[in-house]
Structure 1
Amino acid sequence: MNGFLKTTALAAITLGFAGEAMAVEWNVSLWGKRRAFTEHVEKLAELVSEKTGGEFTLNISYGGLSKNKENLDGISIGAFEMAQFCAGYHRDKNPTITVLELPFLGVETLEQERELSMALYAQPAVQEDLARWNATLLMPSPMPQYNLVGLGDAPTSLEGFEGLTVRATGGIGEAMKAVGAVPTSMSATEVRQSLDSGVIKAAAFAPHAHMSFGTIENANWWTTNLNPGTVNCPVVANTDALNDLSDEHREALLGSIDEALDHYVANYEGNTMERWGPALDERGIEKVTFSAEALAAFEERVAGPAAQDWISSMSERGLPAQELYDFATSKLKELKGSM
């Protein structure tokens, strides 16, 4: 082979390897099945692939990569590049973002939840908190206020929760404890079996999860307006993997987050909530609505003490708890005034 042909062949081989090197695949650890709670991740994968001509793909796994309570650990060691988790699953691992799980914080809409979360995620103390796990916060999974589905006799007053075993995490669990219930934390995938076997008598979820995990299949009642709070479930990336992306691929990912969240909110407010009422009616589930007086008493009993306990315990850990709480509450007031 003459020198020219050798050079040409070598250049072709080099270009071939370069082309292969440009293709990037990220593994994404979710759980359960595709549902309203994961639509922003699905949309993000679609957008990233479109923008990069298929050179950057997100391979989404529902439970095949990790248990949901271990997703943050998997991110920290680079077992996968992206994951979703809920702060209430492991409060000690992500204490700063648990401020958004405080009961009766006052968030009223998914859009408020979205904007409040994104603002908090940008705070230096929060970013440092997640950096301990080599994690970069990308976006929240905005959810409406939780309410309870349960078996047996429906509670008709707050006193009716006395002794009720209920799946409730984070601040919602604290709220339940304040009215005499017995909260327990378990992953979403364990709840249906625990209800069916009698381990618990009620479960606190957002509507999409009650439908996705089957808690309404054998339920007798649903609280329409207890609204004790919600959980904060971020989507994060492994920081090293994010930094290793080319500028083009990183822009395709980060530049698609707003559109992915727009899709998520529209889908939740439309598709999910349109199906929720009929799903309850079809199963003959009793809708329990509490009086304004009862709810005010509930909030008074729970909100202030829970916030002070959170500030005290987090301050003892050396976190700027009062500043984070003040930021969250003042930002929420600002959002309510502008939306």
Structure 2
Amino acid sequence: MKFTEIRAEDNASTVTHFLLLGFSDLPNLQGFLFGIFFIIYLIILIGNSFIIMITRIEPSLQKPMYFFLANFSSLEICFVSVTLPRILFNIATQDRSISVLSCAIQMCFFLMLGTTECFLLAVMSYDRYVAICNPLHYPLVVNSTKCTQLAAGSWLGGIPVQIGQTCQIFSLHFCNSNQIDHFFCDLPPMLKLACGDTSINELSVYFVSTFAPIPFMLIFSSYSKIVATILRLPTITGQVKAFSTCSSHLLVLFLFFGSATVTYLRPKSTHSPGTDKLFGLFYTIVTPMFNPLIYSLRNKEVIAALRKLLAKVLMQANFFSKHMTWSKSKRCQVK
């Protein structure tokens, strides 16, 4: 595709679209990248859909922990669907144009869902803290009403702030270029395209971003207390199992919060397209791909429910196959 770039002296009102350059600097790897991103998207969709389905139909998983897990899986599907389909479309068609409105909508949903993920991870860690450290109070503290309130607060909590931040960014004048050297409409590359003084906007981004470590600190505090409780377990096997789960969770949390914090808290002058894309891949694609494996498929109750579901499906498929065979043989006898 031939990229068109606006001139610096053009008025911002002439910017009707942007160009998401994405991975256009790797022309020989476009087919390979499409295949990789498509497989990752399928893994995320299938893995999280299984979790949502199992937690809904399996009676043994009707617990607060799995209620939050189903919410988290739904969030992951929404979160990656904001960016990955657009990436696949751009690679497949080599049409990297995106309207200003579409860009604003993509950024707004990305920021809102990213905020929801921060809150929901904190809620999930709090749920585990109460369950492990205060098991006798767990049914009272984490009841169905409180679960609904915490989930709703996580989904809705960041909407007003992120809508305001998106409106603030797109009220700027984009007169330097319309080429976004990124694979989606993110804050740092958009600020780079803006002309004039953007210090207020950068300060706003830093201010909002400083709230991201708060959920992380809550999560870290919860897991610290969980680890302290685990150390008092009587058996080494139980300690090793619990530490294995906690370390996996913390690894994903460090990947998500670490890459996002570095991206949004660095000064505008230190941002480079390559670094932004690398960190962007971590918190938009890599962590959502591993989350179903770490939060669910390492859980014995989820694995048992999955095996039970697959066994039912296989039994029904076998019954259907036998029924079809019997029907065919019966028709042959009649003839």
Common fold by TM > 0.5? no
Which structure is larger by alpha-carbon Rg, 1 or 2?
2
Comparing both structures, which one devotes a greater share of its residues to helix?
Answer: 2
